[in-house]
Structures are given as C-alpha cells and as structure tokens.
Amino acid sequence: MKKLSLMGALAVLSACTSEVSTEAQALGSQKANLSETQRVIVSFRKGADRAKVISAAGGKELLAIHGMNASAVELPVQALSALSKNPAVEFVEEDAPRKLLSQSTPYGIDQVQAPLVWPSATGANRKICIIDSGLYAAHEDHQSGKTITGYPTGWNTDKCHHGTHVAGSIAAVNNTTGVVGVLPNGVNLHIIKVFGDDCAWTYASSLADAANRCVSAGANVISMSLGGATKSRTEETAFNNAWSAGLISVAAAGNDGNNRMSYPASYPSVISVGAVDSNKQIASFSQYNTEVDIAAPGVGVVSTVGAVDNNSLTVAGTTYTGGYITGGARSAGVTGALVNGGLCDSVGAWSGKVVLCQRGTIGFVDKVNNVKAGGGIAAAIYNNVAGGFAGTLGEGVSSTIPAISLSQEDGNAIIAAGGIGQSATEVSQYTQPASGYEAYDGTSMATPHVSAVAALVWSYNTSWTNTRVRAALEKSAQDLGTAGRDNYYGNGLVQAKAALDYAIANP
C-alpha cells in the first residue's frame, strides 16, 4: 500500500512560470491564448473575502468547491502573479483537465471471485459514490435492490453512457435480463455527474468538489473512471481528506499504454487500477507505473448503457447481429432480395436489393456508394478476417441508405445457408434513452470492479477501517506478471474471496 503523504506541492502559477501539461495546452491553453484568460484553482486563507479578492483580480468564480475554502476561477493571465502574492490567498494552481477513460462479459464477475462472497456479504450496508457522466436511472438493470441518489440536477440522465456502464459493472441487478454486477444483491449508489452531455473535459476543481460531496453524502467508496496527466494540490487534498474521513477512493490508471502518471489515480490516498483481459493478460492500453496498485477486468466488459443500437440482417428467419457503419442511414427496417455483391468494387444491377459485400480492396464509403449507384437499398459488409469490425464512411460523410457491418463468420454462414436470393431485412436503428448493453474496453471498466469488491468485502464487517480493507485487497490479489508487485499489474488481480479471508484473518 502506498504511503499516505503529500506528494510535493505544485509550483504557484504565475504569468511567467505556469506549469501547464501538454494535455491542458491542447484543450485549455488555446482558450487562454485567444482570450488572455486562464482557469485556475484559488485556495484562500481562513477568513478571506473570496468575492472581493476575485473581483479585484478581474476574475470570475466558476465553482465554489464544496467543503473547501477554494474556488475555480477564470481570470486574466496577467493577474495571476499578483493574485498568487495576495495575503488572502494560500496558493493558485492550474485547474487541470479530467477526462473519461473509456475505449471500447461479465466474465469479470467470476474473475474477481464476487459470487464466492455473495453467501457471506451483499454490499447492502455500503454506499459507493460514482463520479462520472451520470446514470440512466430508468434502465431495467437499475430498478431494484439499491437506493440511488445523486447530484446535481440531471444526475439521473446520461447521454455519454459511460457512467451507466460503470454503474452496471458495480450493481446491475440479478434479474432475467441484461447483465449482473459485482454487487447485484444490493448496494447504495450516490451519483455525482461531472461530465455533461458532450462528454468533454471536466476539471480538477470539479473532481475535488465531487469528492467532498461524496464524503458529505456518507459514501464508503469513491469510484472514478477518469483522469488526467497533471496533478493538483487541491484535488490531492480532497482525496487525502476523504481517506482521513474513512473512505476508499479508486481510480483508473489511464489508457495511453505508457508509463505516465494519471491523476487522481496516482495520489497515494487513491487505489490506481490497471486493466486485464479475459485471459488475465495486461491490456495493451493500460498505463503502467510505480503507482499502479491493482488490476481488474477491463477488456470487452459488457455492461449497461442508456441506449439501444440495433444493427442486424434477417435472412430466411435467421437474424445476424452486426455493427453500425458510421455515416450510414438509420432505418427501422428495409426489405428486399439479398444479392451477393462480392467486393462491391464496381456498380451492379441491384435495384431494390439488399447487397451483401465483402470487406477489402476499396473503402467502405466506396462500397456503399456503389451499392446506392446500382439501385441497392441497403449494404451489409462482412469482414475478410475472423470476427466483426467497426467501420465509418469517413468524417462528415453520410449516405441515404443503411450500412452495417457483419462478422466474417456470419457473412460466410449466410452464403453457405443459401441466403442469397432470399428476402432480407436490414435494420439500423438507434434508440435513446433505452435499456441497452455494450462491451467497452478501458481502465474505466476495470475501476468499478475494484470499487465494488472493496464495498463487497467491507460489507461483511462495517467496523473495519479503510486501511484494513485496502490492505486486504492489495495483499490478497492474484500475483500476475513479474513475481511480486510490478508496474503493470500492481499487486495483481483483485480477488474478493481471498480479500475477505485475508481481512478476517489479519486484524
């Protein structure tokens, strides 16, 4: 377990000595260069008149951080130096960006040994605070077995689907549909929505504010599938305070596949989580460094989302499910005789037909254009290698006919079964909001497994401290990779039953 100490104060920002990450430059400093303003966190000394100090600096308060004498402020760049020297100000630092860490079944539930603990503990007496993009609270897999609260208004909606996916891995109920979470038999959730419907950046100030609100809401575990490359003194203090208040905080190690630190995961008071696949191999995208504590399932994780993306081809009564080729038209269903267009690298006589094309030789947009030019009413492109694929017609390109992708196996099966010449119906329909399920990749997907296991183990005995539970998770993890702790897997794959046994045996 990492030593719980401050990791070194960041330098005070000034007009000539600002520490801005490459990541922040790409998304934040462009605005500063154009408008000569900078978004920062200002930590005030006790008794300071925030409004007066901010106004005198020509700034605008963007967020008063809950539970702290600090604010996120936008102010002129030239005012930074003077503000940092103001006796009412403790320090000024960059308000570093924080982003979602998701890429793209629940095999992970068994992989982390959750069912082995269910006879002993359910998590019903614990509360997990999920800081993310909200939750589609009307989802069929989030309708019973738990109390769900949230902040701010709109927390129970999620057009990004990321937060809903995280919540499903934690607490999708054990019913007759969908998936099962690590805690399907009851856990309380508190949702803090920090990402808007555009799924774009949030900031360290928002995360510090959210962490403090998790504490105020009586949470036991904080789950964060997000991060950024720049550390924040304010943010770190919030998580140190959460630890001191008895909480366990868990965050994604990052998806850049390098050894760069990601925050808040790399603060000592936060458990940093790497991702493994169904074979317990480290994911190629999982960041590795000295702060990675533990690993969990994060590749091809199926969980809940707030939309249904139905892309299918039904031939002679058999339905083959595929993927949406971005830019294709959406349709509740178009029907016509199925024709084999081969590679669809030239225009054929396909009037009123659904055209089956094989991937290869030319781009997807050219294939779809050839189908349309030949009078085809829909294109279904099957892979030229094993498995399915995700495709696009190109940025800003669209078609007036639906276009979907199919696996190589399904394409060959349609032909082998005599589907050519049969009536076929192609559907490409997106419905939102709706109770849907998708497979995502990312340390974002690994994080909720660890958060949920922590709550599951802890629910066995609520008098245990966060120190005892965290130590149990890390010391009982299944060692993978190089013997002992390493920078890729940390202490190893989180194991619920082993952690519970360890916590019981090691007071």
Round to whole Å and give the CA distance between 260 and 233. Answer: 18
Least Cα distance to 7 among 294, 233, 300 occurs for 233
C-beta of residue 164 within 8 angstroms of C-beta of residue 307: no
List of residues 6+ apart from 134 with CB closer than 8 A? 150, 154, 155, 156, 157, 158, 160, 163, 164, 191, 193, 195
Beta-carbon contacts of residue 1 (< 8 Å; ≥ 6 apart): 293, 467, 470, 471, 474
Cα 1 to chain center, whole Å? Answer: 25
φ and ψ at 225, to 5 degrees? Answer: -95, 65
**Between helices 466-475 and 443-458, what is the axis angle to 10°?**
120
Would you call 366 a catalytic residue per the annotation?
no
Question: Phi, psi (5° rounding) for residue 371?
Answer: -60, -45
DSSP H or E segment with residue 251: strand 248-252
Give the H/E segment covering residue 117: helix 114-117
- Distance from C-alpha of 449 to C-alpha of 166, rounded to nearest angstrom: 9
Catalytic annotation on 158? Answer: no
Q: How far apart are CA 267 and CA 96, in angstroms?
A: 14
Catalytic residue among 132, 277, 293, 410: 132
Distance separating the N- and C-terminal Cα atoms of the chain:
16
Of the residues 161, 162, 165, 190, only one is catalytic, namely 162
List helix spans (H) across 357-482: 364-373, 408-416, 443-458, 466-475
Query: Does 444 qualify as catalytic in the annotation?
Result: yes
- Please give the C-alpha separations between residue 145 and each of 107, 122, 497, in angstroms, as whole numbers: 22, 10, 22
| Residue 495 to residue 454: CA distance in whole angstroms | 10
DSSP state, residue 485: -
Is residue 224 helix, strand or coil?
A: strand
* Catalytic residue of the set 444, 451, 459, 476: 444
What phi and psi, each to the nearest 5 degrees, are found at residue 221?
-135, 135
Closest alpha carbon to 230 in 97, 101, 43:
97
Question: Which active-site residues does the annotation give?
Answer: 132, 162, 444
